Amino acid sequence: MLDGRPNFLIFLTDDQGYGDLSCMGATDFRTPNLDRMAAEGVRFTDWYSNSPVCSPSRAALLTGRYPGNAGIRGVLRGGRETAGLRQSATTIATMLGSAGYETAMAGKWHLGLTEHARPSHHGFNDSFGFLAGTIDYYSHIFFYSANQPPSPNPTHDLWENDEEVWHNGEYFTELITDKAIEYMRKMHASGNPFLLYVPFNAPHYPMHAPEEYVDRFPDLPWDRQMMAAMISSVDDAIGKILNEVDRLGVGDNTMSVFMSDNGPSRESRNWLDGTLDPYYGGTVGRLKGHKGSLYEGGIRLPGIIRWPERVDGGVVTDQPGVAMDIVPTILEAAGVDSSAHEIDGTSLMTLLADKAETPERTIFWEWGEQTAVRRGKWKLVLEGRLVEHESPVAAVHLADLDSDPSESRNLADSEPEVTAELKYLAEEWRATVEKRWLDEFGAPDVAQRRMPD
Percentage of residues of the chain with pLDDT beyond 70? 94
How high is the pLDDT of residue 1? Answer: 44
Q: Is the pLDDT of residue 423 over 90?
A: yes
d(CA 396, CA 438): 26
Is 50 exceeded by the pLDDT of residue 104? yes
- Residue 320: is the preceding peptide bond cis (ω within 30°)? no
Average pLDDT over residues 259-273: 82
Q: What are phi and psi of 164, to 5 degrees?
A: -70, 135
- What pLDDT, on a 0 to 100 scale, did the predictor assign at position 150? 60
Cα–Cα distance between 350 and 373 in angstroms, integer? 24
- State residue 269's pLDDT score: 65
362-449 under CATH 3.40.50.11720, yes or no: no
Q: pLDDT for 36-72, tens place per residue?
A: 999 999 999 999 999 999 999 999 999 999 999 999 9
Q: Which residues pair with 365 in a beta bridge?
A: 372
Specify whether the CB–CB gap between 288 and 42 falls below 8 A: no
Tell me what pLDDT residue 266 has.
87
Question: What is the model's pLDDT at position 149?
Answer: 61
Which of 33, 66, 28 is closest to 299 using CA atoms?
A: 66
Q: Is it the case that residue 98 has pLDDT exceeding 50?
A: yes
pLDDT tens-digit map of 136-145? 999 999 977 6
Does the structure show a pLDDT above 80 at 271? no
Percentage of residues in the chain having pLDDT higher than 90: 85
* Residue 403 banded pLDDT, cuts 50, 70, 90: very high
Give the pLDDT of residue 202: 97
What's the average model confidence in pLDDT over 193-201? 98
Candidate from 21-25, 151-155, 344-348, 389-393 with smallest mean pLDDT: 151-155
Position 452 pLDDT exceeds 50: no
Answer yes or no: is pLDDT of 445 > 90.
no
Confidence (pLDDT) at 158: 98
Residue 382's pLDDT is 98
398's enclosing H/E stretch is strand 394-400
Mean pLDDT, range 392-397, rounded to an integer: 96
Mean pLDDT rounded to a whole number for the chain: 93
Query: How big is the chain, counted in residues?
Result: 453
Evaluate whether 295 touches 288 at the Cβ level (below 8 Å).
yes
Could you give the CA distance from residue 305 to residue 326 in angstroms, rounded to a whole number? 10
| Residue pLDDT, tens place only, 297-324 | 999 999 999 999 999 999 999 999 999 9
Q: What is the pTM of this model?
A: 0.96
Q: Quick one: pLDDT band at residue 268, thresholds 50, 70, 90?
A: confident
Q: Looking at the domain 2-354, which fold is it?
A: Alkaline Phosphatase, subunit A (3.40.720)
- 217-225, long-range: CB within 8 Å, 24+ apart, which pairs? 217/28, 217/29, 220/28, 220/29, 223/279, 223/280, 223/281, 224/28, 224/280, 224/281, 225/281
Which are the contacts of 436, defined by CB distance < 8 A and separation ≥ 6?
Answer: 68, 69
| Predicted local distance difference test score (pLDDT) of residue 193 | 98
Whether the pLDDT of residue 90 is over 70: the answer is yes
Question: Which among 91, 99, 113 has a CA at the least distance from the CA of 197?
Answer: 91
pLDDT at 444: 45
Instruction: Indicate if the pLDDT at residue 108 is higher than 70.
Output: yes
Helices marked H in 335-442 — which ranges?
349-354, 416-436
Residue 146 confidence (pLDDT)? 53
Domains of the chain by residue range: 2-354, 362-449
* Alpha-carbon dihedral sign for residues 240, 245, 247, 253: negative
* Count of CB atoms situated within 10 Å of the CB of 402: 10
